[in-house]
Chains A and B, each alone.
Chain A
Amino acid sequence: MSPEPDAMGIAGPEGSGSAASPVLGARLEVDVQVAFEGFDLEVGQAIPATGVTAVFGPSGSGKTTLLRSLLGFETRSRGRIALNGDVWLDSEAGVAVPPHRRPVGCTFQDGRLFPHLDVEGNLGYADRRSAPAPGVAASITRDDVVDALDLGPLLDRRPGTLSGGERQRAALGRALLSRPRLLLLDEPLSALDRRRKAEIMPYLLALHSRFGIPTLYVSHAVDEVALLADRVLVLADGRVQAFGGTVEVLEQLDLAPLTERFQAAAVLEATVGAHDDEYRLTWLDLDGQRLSVPRIEHLAVGESARLLVRSRDVSLATERPSPTSIRNVLSGVLVSLQQDESTAFAEATVDLGSHRLRARITRASAAELGLTVGSPVFALLKSVSLDTRAGR
């Protein structure tokens, strides 16, 4: 029953985590155990308290339980939680700071705006209760938040009259106005359809660079994680499966079972090589090869762009294809081919040099093309998603 918190152990060797964290010692120490009937969560991880950390995993993996432990709502939590040395939970010492005294801001999947207050009232509720304290968040004002999230037209509306996307924007604004030292976003996009997602994504992308609050972003969607996060904590069955930089973690193939098949994707980091004004394209350099994407307005030549390529959007060929409408063809080496005998599909991994692509092809095509590990292949990219953050 009584676990043995090894406070030194979970913090990890000094320096190993701080490479990613410019603020010395800014980190969230998590070493919690939560046991329910039929499920237990055990997470021991020091997370740099900078940038955006995705907490990623399939439903039922313990993401929300972890979040509720951090917020202080999970009274069965045991172990230790501390942000930058401020202890929120230390069950050995009998410390459990109540939720309203933890400087955490949070948005919930269902928004949870107060239905008896309009948007203005909801923002004010947070604003009045969070006296500006020293720290990054102290300077956040109501006007900043209204401006950053375009809440102006919504201020006198009641939550019941808002669309899903508007509700999440208002909830984000409210969470920011609690001037938190840590922001927790619990699947803010999961209740939204594709169009609403696209509507709110730019706000999420801009959030961190504008307000600079360290953020934990809980999600089960690879594309959100790939575009938003600096690093990823992968949870499965209540345990940490992986932790590290987004690109490295998402490239690990053993994550495949965790992501639904259609979601599998690779993240690539490319450099803007040139802009083409005539065709409104931007050329990107990637491992010595070139890609073209629709013109990226805000990135200058030499800046880096993060790309997400879903494996279902990649086709393979053994020879460079004759002209097609697909513009992006990359050459590489097939490094693995996993056939799933119970389906029609196989998952191929192509090494491009310093990046890897994943392709989902049928097993029949793999056989007809005579694909063998180690042979050169051409990858045809039907579609590429782009992280539009500036300055990454």
Chain B
Amino acid sequence: MNLPELGPLWLSLQLAAAATAVLLVLGTPLAWWLSGTRSRLKPVIEAVTALPLVLPPTVLGFYLLLLMSPRSWLGGLWVEVTDTTLTFSFAGLLIASVVYSLPFMVQPLQAAFESLGRGPLEAAAALRASPLDAFLTVAAPLSLRGFLTAAVLTFAHTIGEFGVVLMVGGNIPGKTRVISIAIYEHVETLRYAEAHTLAAGLLLFAFVVLVFVYVFNRRLPVHVA
């Protein structure tokens, strides 16, 4: 049996981990704001957040490509600062993944925060906890399941992305060839054995992760008011 390059698998894992980490940092405050706001902007922001769910990845990838090209403000700035282009780089892939997976982080978190209700936070405020303190010591621990679900969905979704990556990153071994693109490449070049190994490996990995999550989730206490 021909063992395929494991580089693409490693790259996918790195990308997914990085995207999940970035989205935890960016998505948490956004979800928190959405869960509590009475602003008229809320439906607009919610719609923008949900766009990646409904847009074809090629559409998203196309606009991201334009945005990252050295001629756009973002791509140009990137070239000035780092002396490399954003397109066809790991950084570009990461930005694209963050945009693409945004709803998978924000929506479960928002749902978790909304299900808390105002009770626990008011109780915390009445005990002199500042809003940040109350978030860190009450809202976050009570939303542990939401965080787990959001992180796993984001991670898994990033591992599986194909269209956006292809548009923005292309297919550069060691730099942007992630596992889904490697499988596509193997199939295109009729190397089915390698494609099989990678595909089966990914299938097994996804299954094991999900089983782990469901087992872990069952053990987490449910806090129902």
Instruction: Report whether A116 and B141 are in contact in the complex, using a CB–CB cutoff of 8 Å.
Output: yes
A357 CB, min distance to chain B CBs, angstroms: 40
Known A-B contacts A110-B225, A116-B141, A116-B142; A178 and B123 likewise in contact (beta carbons under 8 Å): no
Q: Is A126 an interface residue (CB 8 A)?
A: yes
Complex Cα spacing A178 to B127, Å: 6
Type the 1/0 row for B125-152, where 1 means its CB is closer than 8 Å to any CB of A: 1111111011001100110000000000
A129, B119: Cβ atoms under 8 Å?
Answer: no
CB distance from B36 to the nearest CB of A (A): 12
Q: Tell me whether A105 is interfacial, beta carbon within 8 Å.
A: yes
B40 within 8 A of A: no
Inter-chain contacts of B119 with A (CB < 8 A): 108, 110, 112
Q: Which residues of A contact B125 (CB under 8 A)?
A: 71-73, 98-100
Let me know if A209 is at the binding interface, CB within 8 A: no
CB 8 Å contact bits of A61-85 with B (1 = contact, 0 = none): 0000000000111000000000000
The answer on a CB contact under 8 Å between B223 and A129 is no
Residue of A nearest to B125 (CB): A99
The answer to the question of A104 belonging to the interface, with a C-beta cut-off of 8 Å to chain B, is yes
The 8 Å CB contact of B127, one of A115, A116, A174, is A174
User: How many angstroms between the C-alpha atoms of A71 and B125 in the bound complex?
Assistant: 9
Given known pairs A112-B123, A116-B142, the reply for A100 and B128 (CB within 8 Å) is: yes
Please judge, given known A-B contacts A100-B131, A108-B119, whether A114 and B138 are in contact too, CB under 8 Å: yes
Residues of A within 8 A of B225 (CB): 110, 112, 115
The verdict on A178 contacting B142 (CB below 8 Å), with A73-B122, A112-B119, A115-B223 known, is: no
The residue in chain A whose Cβ has the minimal distance to the Cβ of B38 is A75
A68's nearest neighbour on chain B, judged by CB, is B122
Interface assignment of B221: CB less than 8 Å from any CB of chain A: yes
Is B120 among interface residues, defined by CB-CB distance under 8 A?
yes
A86, B141: Cα distance in complex, Å = 34
Asked if B120 and A112 make an inter-chain contact with CB atoms under 8 angstroms apart, the answer reads yes
Q: Is residue A130 contacting chain B, with contact meaning CB distance below 8 A?
A: yes
Q: Report if A106 contacts B (CB, 8 A).
A: yes
* B146 → chain A closest CB, angstroms: 13
Whose C-beta in chain B lies nearest to the C-beta of A130?
B128
A125 is an interface residue with CB less than 8 A from chain B: yes
CB distance B123 to A116 under 8 Å?
A: no
Cβ-defined contact, B129 with A114, below 8 A = no
Contact with B along A46-59 (1 / 0, CB 8 A): 00000000000000
CA A104 to CA B124, docked complex, whole Å: 12
Asked if B120 and A125 make an inter-chain contact with CB atoms under 8 angstroms apart, the answer reads: no
Nearest neighbor of A180 in chain B, beta-carbon distance: B126
Return the contact of B126 from the options A104, A110, A113, A116 (Cβ within 8 A): A104
B183 to chain A, nearest CB (A): 42
Contacts of A113 in B (CB 8 A): 123
CB nearest to B138 among chain A residues: A114
Tell me which residues across on chain A come within 8 A of B142, comparing CB atoms: 114-116
Extra contacts besides A71-B122, A112-B123, A115-B224 (17): CB < 8 Å: A71-B125, A73-B122, A73-B125, A100-B126, A100-B128, A101-B128, A108-B119, A112-B119, A112-B122, A113-B123, A114-B138, A115-B120, A115-B142, A116-B142, A125-B124, A125-B127, A174-B127
The chain B residues found within 8 Å of chain A, CB to CB, are 118-120, 122-131, 133-134, 137-138, 141-142, 221, 223-225
Interface residues, chain A, CB within 8 Å of chain B?
Answer: 71-73, 98-101, 104-106, 108, 110, 112-116, 125-126, 129-130, 174-175, 178
11 chain-A/chain-B pairs, Cβ below 8 angstroms: A71-B125, A99-B126, A100-B124, A100-B127, A110-B225, A112-B123, A115-B223, A116-B221, A126-B127, A129-B133, A178-B128
